[in-house]
Structure 1
């Protein structure tokens, strides 16, 4: 298989995986609390990343990490998977999937603001156009979905979904700053090693009841197809491709495919404001990424 073809195949596997997880979140939350779901998912992802290091024969690189790098990953693991996914899963627990997913997807807009504030990267004037388009989509979904579909949209659920976008943007910014200093597979393993350890300690105080097989299996699915497998395949796609822009553009299919699964499997009636709002979010992100000179 040619590199360009295999890159597209790998990217499609990642996109298809991410497209199913919003539905998987809601199914898992019928059996588990958001903390229990994250505990199972994080353990599953840690096993996947450990197997990846074994396959790639990179365990020696773990032993070569400096004390400073261990400290860095101890902090990073607190942000992702712990803080980010606890907030995200609670948002899904409170909101319809068709609302939580698009709002979380607006994180690139939040990233622009963070880079301007903390990395001193000024926002080009034209990028404000894309930002306002995307934010308009967020507002339309937040306000219009409840009115059009007659759904209960709690304000604190919307705030949690917005907070999840902020946390992911923070994680991306911090991780991207240090990505050249650590192998990508090692970084994922170490983050989830610390994250899982924090969650296991937290489980002692919170108390968990993992006594349903559907709950455990759905939590494992989330760990495999949200946190583990798609990151591996997307990384492979970016490594194989000669056209990174194409691979990135394929990711924009994910939220729209996700609405299909939400409607077909969860039975949520997707209202027109969700489609329009999601389209605006994606249009704003693509406008800033591809049409505005960096």
Structure 2
């Protein structure tokens, strides 16, 4: 794999995970008008409407899924689309942003562990060092330099919801690596989103969304549209492409960019202060991503010959 292509993949992963940071902001606007499962359903319904024409146009020679493949797509939809997003938006409504961010920051560690156990991906010392550097940066950012606030948290039921979000996204990333051996990122994302939308429908109906549709604010609708197009269609395809090219373990390091981008966007759109601890944390995150993904020139040559 050439250095230029490698850096292009890193740029795509950075863009994808930075865009996910905006979901924290968009979720805050959407949750004022809709309940969690309804937000998730509308988000992925919009994404599915966009994804299928894209897939039909660009992937005309896609493989025909077997029964086993449909089962894998269903698992992707259940984990990374349905359960994860219900947990995410429940946390947006009931959990402090600090706690939510800290739980989600544990995602790369779990993905690396599962990738090593089930996908037999090689986990290097640099990746582990990079993960710890990035995790340190995330803690600094979300606690504003006062790590003592973590000790003030008490166990609550919402913690189980946040744990569910972490586990299901890790499973989505690892299962996706298996699916991507046969299918392109566009096809994998489209079918996963389709199944996830179907799974989300009954949960949305329980919330009686028709009562909120007429009174929803323009900001809520714009937030859902943003999450459908950029956070889902564009970013999910970029993320899956990154996993396909460099593996789930190394790609997962870029998830640490998400809370950093969330803090920057909160500063811009919500008027929050970008503190000195946020700046230091950002340097740790960027350093961790660099250390964890840096590939020596000699190794690039080996990868190029192997591909």
For the superposition of Structure 1 and Structure 2, which TM-score range results when normalised by the shorter chain? 0.7 to 0.9
> In 2, are the aligned partners of 1:262 and 1:268 still within 8 Å (CA)?
yes
Deviations along 1:54-106, whole A, 9 cap, x unmatched? 33263x747x2212211221122101211111222222333455764575355
* C-alpha displacement of 1:179: 0.6
* C-alpha displacement of 1:189: 1.3
* C-alpha displacement of 1:46: 0.6
For 2:133, what is the secondary structure of its paired residue?
helix
Q: Which residue of 1 aligns with 2:204?
A: 203
Greater shift in the superposed pair: 258-267 or 275-284 = 275-284
* C-alpha displacement of 1:111: 1.4
Deviations along 1:188-244, whole A, 9 cap, x unmatched? 1111111111111223334324321433332222121211133446778999x9xxx
Greater shift in the superposed pair: 275-284 or 74-83 = 275-284
> In 2, are the aligned partners of 1:103 and 1:138 still within 8 Å (CA)?
no
> In 2, are the aligned partners of 1:108 and 1:285 still within 8 Å (CA)?
no
In 1: Cα distance, 2:237 partner to 2:252 partner: 15
- Name the CA shift for 1:203/1:49 in 2 (closer, same or farther; >3 Å): same
Q: Which residue of 1 aligns with 2:248?
A: none
* C-alpha displacement of 1:262: 0.7
Structure 2: tracts of 5 or more residues without a match: 246-250
In 1: Cα distance, 2:279 partner to 2:159 partner: 17
> In 2, are the aligned partners of 1:81 and 1:195 still within 8 Å (CA)?
yes
Q: Does 1:194 align with 2:195?
A: yes
Structure 1: tracts of 5 or more residues without a match: 242-246
- Name the CA shift for 1:186/1:124 in 2 (closer, same or farther; >3 Å): closer
Give the CA RMSD over aligned residues.
Answer: 4.2
For 2:294, what is the secondary structure of its paired residue?
helix
In 2: Cα distance, 1:100 partner to 1:170 partner: 18
Give the aligned length.
279
Q: TM-score, normalised by structure 2?
A: 0.71
- Name the CA shift for 1:166/1:35 in 2 (closer, same or farther; >3 Å): same
- Name the CA shift for 1:17/1:189 in 2 (closer, same or farther; >3 Å): same
> In 2, are the aligned partners of 1:134 and 1:280 still within 8 Å (CA)?
yes
Q: Which residue of 2 aligns with 1:244?
A: none
> In 2, are the aligned partners of 1:29 and 1:37 still within 8 Å (CA)?
yes
> In 2, are the aligned partners of 1:141 and 1:273 still within 8 Å (CA)?
yes
- Name the CA shift for 1:233/1:285 in 2 (closer, same or farther; >3 Å): closer
For 1:32, what is the secondary structure of its paired residue?
coil
Q: 1:230 aligns with which of 197, 218, 235?
A: 235
> In 2, are the aligned partners of 1:44 and 1:223 still within 8 Å (CA)?
yes
Match runs of 1:38-117 below 5 Å: 38-56=40-58, 58=60, 61=62, 64-95=64-95, 97=97, 100-101=100-101, 104-117=104-117
In 1: Cα distance, 2:279 partner to 2:95 partner: 16
In 1: Cα distance, 2:284 partner to 2:159 partner: 18
Q: Does 1:263 align with 2:264?
A: no
Q: TM-score, normalised by structure 1?
A: 0.73
In 2: Cα distance, 1:253 partner to 1:44 partner: 25
